[in-house]
Amino acid sequence: MDAAEPASGASAPEAPSPTCFRHADRESYVRCSRCDRYVCPDCRRDAAVGYQCVECVKSGRQGVRQARTAFGGRITSRPYATIVLIALNIAAYVVEVVRPETVQRFAMLGSALLQNDPHDDPDDISTLFHPAGVAHGEWYRLFTGTFLHLSPDSDTFLGPMAVVHIVFNMYWLWSLGRVVEDRLGVLRFTGLYLLSALGGSTLVYLIAPHTLTVGASGAIFGLAGGYWILSRRQGYDPLGGNQMMATLLMWMVVSATFASWQGHLGGLLTGIAAGAAIAHAPRQQRGLVQSIYLTAVLLLLVTLMYAATSHLNVG
């Protein structure tokens, strides 16, 4: 039996209208230029040629490499690390104003006998003083001292300089820190700052272990040393005609008259070493190489501190 044929003049059934691949109830005749699927106005985005669906746009963004600084750090819109460091320094200053004993408890000190609470028994000489400092296990002083500053209630002629001390340090931390952070990114900048702070405390520990020292100057001079190395690596000398660097050098000399020059010098030398470790790392596996170089700088500081501790304990 032969198949029936449609009557003469009858039309064939129409094909269904194309719909958006994400919204089956929306008719669409526009295709994604990348995956060729139909997309409605809500699901398409303008592209260099035609339109792309939202999923293709998303996958394309994931494949784009994030912009990096000249030395491998992530580019950020604001100097977040610099702002946090300034906030920590100011918070520490407020604490020491409210509780002046904070300075004696957390300032950088290699080894000394500190007076106990005056309410202790004055007849028992063994309770009048106690050994304190890095050599006696208070390793935290290597960092906490760099967040403290001259106390405003100091009974020396330096008392009026207390506010000037922190104001100038925070001014330079803001002026120099945001420039260096812009070139390094948050992680590398933070590593440079903390290593410089540790380097300043280390030289104090080696040369003046019995002196109570405070201040962020060592870390800031470390940023200056790192900034100089980074600038030279990029092909120009920051000391040539740069008023900021010239003024910073003057502040280094002036502040050394009432603050620890050992901390300044130690921070500066460590900043130069850490800056060189970051700036001269090869582009291939740069992050790994920079980490190895910075770890080497850290191990050198730890070795020097271990030698100083052994010498003080023997003495």
- Which stretch of DSSP H or E encloses residue 161? helix 161-184
Residue 272 and residue 141 share a domain: yes
CATH number, domain containing residue 113 = 1.20.1540.10
Q: Distance (Å, rounded) from C-alpha 169 to C-alpha 8?
A: 96
Phi then psi for residue 264, to 5 deg, are -60, -50
Residue 133 and residue 32 share a domain: no
Burial class (CB in 10 A: 0-12, 13-18, 19+), 190: middle
How far CA 220 is from CA of 50, 166, 179, 198, in Å, comes to 53, 12, 12, 12
The answer on pLDDT for 118 being more than 70 is: no
Phi-psi region of 271 (alpha: psi -120 to 50; beta: other; left: phi over 0): alpha
Residue 140 and residue 43 share a domain: no
Structure confidence at residue 133 (pLDDT) = 81
Contact predicate 280/292, CB 8 Å: no
For 179-189, give one letter per residue: b (16+ CB within 10 A) or e. bbbbbbbbebb
Q: Mean pLDDT: which of 71-75, 115-119, 220-224, 241-245 is highest?
A: 220-224
Name the H helices within 100-160.
101-106, 141-144
Higher model confidence: residue 111 or residue 277? 277
Residue 53 and residue 84 share a domain: no
| Number of folded domains that form the chain | 2
Residue 287 forms part of a structural domain: yes
Q: Which of 24-38, 69-83, 144-158 has the lowest mean pLDDT?
A: 144-158
Residue 1 forms part of a structural domain: no
The answer on pLDDT for 1 being more than 50 is: no
CA dihedral for 285, 287, 291, 293, sign (positive or negative): positive
Residue 105 and residue 52 share a domain: no
The tokens of 197 are what? 């702070």
Cβ-proximal residues to 56 (8 Å cutoff; 6+ apart), any chain: 32, 34, 35
Residue 127 and residue 49 share a domain: no
Q: What is the largest CA-CA distance in the chain?
A: 128
The answer on pLDDT for 79 being more than 80 is: yes
Residue identified by tokens 């040539």 is 240
Instruction: Give the residue among 125, 278, 121, 305 at the shortest CA–CA distance from 198.
Output: 305
Residue 9 forms part of a structural domain: no
Residue 46 and residue 94 share a domain: no
Q: Distance (Å, rounded) from C-alpha 295 to C-alpha 278?
A: 11
Residue 214 forms part of a structural domain: yes
In tens, the pLDDT along 254-307 reads 666 666 788 889 999 999 999 999 999 998 888 899 999 999 999 999 999 999
- Residue ranges making up the domain that contains 35: 17-57
- Which stretch of DSSP H or E encloses residue 89? helix 80-98
Instruction: Give the residue among 258, 214, 248 at the shortest CA–CA distance from 95.
Output: 214
Return the SS3 of 108: strand
Phi then psi for residue 51, to 5 deg, are -130, 160
Residue 156 and residue 200 share a domain: yes
Q: Distance (Å, rounded) from C-alpha 27 to C-alpha 16?
A: 10
**pTM for the whole thing?**
0.75
Residue 196 forms part of a structural domain: yes
Q: Distance (Å, rounded) from C-alpha 184 to C-alpha 195?
A: 15
